[in-house]
Amino acid sequence: MLIDFHAHVQDDDEGTRADEMVREARRIGIDYIGISEPVTHSRDSLEIVQRQNDLVFRTYERHPDFFIPLVYTHANLGQAALDEVHKGFDRGARGIKMEVATVITDKCVEPIIEEAIARDVALLQHSWHKVTGNYPFETDGVHCAEIGRRYPELKLVMAHISGDNRWGIRAIRDVPSVYTDCSGSIADYGHIEYCVEQLGADRLLWGTDARGADFLYTLAKVRDSHLSDEAKAKVLGLNAAKLLKVV
Ligand SMILES: [Zn+2]
């Protein structure tokens, strides 16, 4: 089972990009792709959230046997943010995605977290630790760790190993309920093996961040690593299958 837990399509009106992505992913052997369509720097716009979600659900409806949608929201929009999440689940969402509209520890995120817990779905949170300083409202691994401690029943996924492998791994190492994904172009020497050594194979999910990163490049980081076959199977698909309830 090969599941890309973290990707984006940004399809056009004709469905060209979705079709192309499905073709290429199937050629490589990918069984499912979890998709969302977040945007950066638009925290006050409900319209953008709705437009991006409409895009992701149209892509899902075009290839319902292949794409697994995550509904995207800006928690700072209050009830409207929660309404958008409800609408997303009505259209088939199997998880929630948040990016940089709010830091996950902000009070306004609590209803979204509680919704994820009540529905028993994954909450995928963009996380990055930048040497140049984070964007305003951008979540870091330490924020994910704090939420994981506060809500141990939440299935929280800290995206990108927080952008800085050693920082991100250290941040969540002693919070066993928090998962991470290795999506994106980050590829320090030995970081996949280090991540599994520190967190265990049950907490790492393979993701690409396509279209922003290449399928084969990101796949090779795990498939051709020094992990055991059992650990590779978990990271490449079995862990995501549990979180996304793929049977
Ligand atoms: Zn992403």
Reply yes or no on whether the pLDDT at 247 is more than 90. no
C-alpha of residue 222 to centroid of ligand 1, in Å: 18
Give the mean model confidence (pLDDT) for residues 149-162: 98
**Quick one: pLDDT at residue 117?**
98
Can you tell me the distance from the alpha carbon of 111 to that of 108, in angstroms, rounded to the nearest whole number? 7
C-alpha of residue 19 to centroid of ligand 1, in Å: 19
What dihedral angle (degrees, nearest 10) is formed by the CA atoms of 213, 215, 216, 217? 20
The fraction of the chain above a pLDDT of 70, given in percent, is: 100
DSSP 60-77: HHHSTTTEEE-EE--GGG
DSSP 236: I
C-alpha of residue 174 to centroid of ligand 1, in Å: 25
Quick one: tokens of 125? Answer: 């949170």
Determine the distance from the C-alpha atom of residue 1 to the mean position of all C-alpha atoms in its chain, rounded to a whole number. Answer: 18
C-alpha of residue 39 to centroid of ligand 1, in Å: 9
**Quick one: pLDDT at residue 200?**
98
**Quick one: pLDDT at residue 90?**
98
Tell me the pLDDT band of 41, cut-offs 50, 70 and 90: confident
- Residue pLDDT, tens place only, 191-230: 999 999 999 999 999 999 999 999 999 999 999 999 999 9
Give the mean model confidence (pLDDT) for residues 109-125: 98
C-alpha of residue 127 to centroid of ligand 1, in Å: 10
**Quick one: pLDDT at residue 40?**
84
C-alpha of residue 5 to centroid of ligand 1, in Å: 10
C-alpha of residue 233 to centroid of ligand 1, in Å: 22
Provide φ and ψ at 98, rounded to 5°.
-130, 150
Reply yes or no on whether the pLDDT at 4 is more than 90. yes
Domain ranges of the chain: 3-244
Query: 16-28 vs 215-223: helix axis angle to the nearest 10?
Result: 30
Tell me the pLDDT band of 103, cut-offs 50, 70 and 90: very high
What's the first-to-final CA gap in the chain, in angstroms?
A: 11
Which class is 3-244 in CATH?
alpha beta
Can you tell me the distance from the alpha carbon of 50 to that of 107, in angstroms, rounded to the nearest whole number? 22
C-alpha of residue 14 to centroid of ligand 1, in Å: 23
Reply yes or no on whether the pLDDT at 52 is more than 90. yes
C-alpha of residue 207 to centroid of ligand 1, in Å: 9
C-alpha of residue 211 to centroid of ligand 1, in Å: 9
Verify cis geometry, omega within 30 degrees of 0, for the bond prior to 17. no
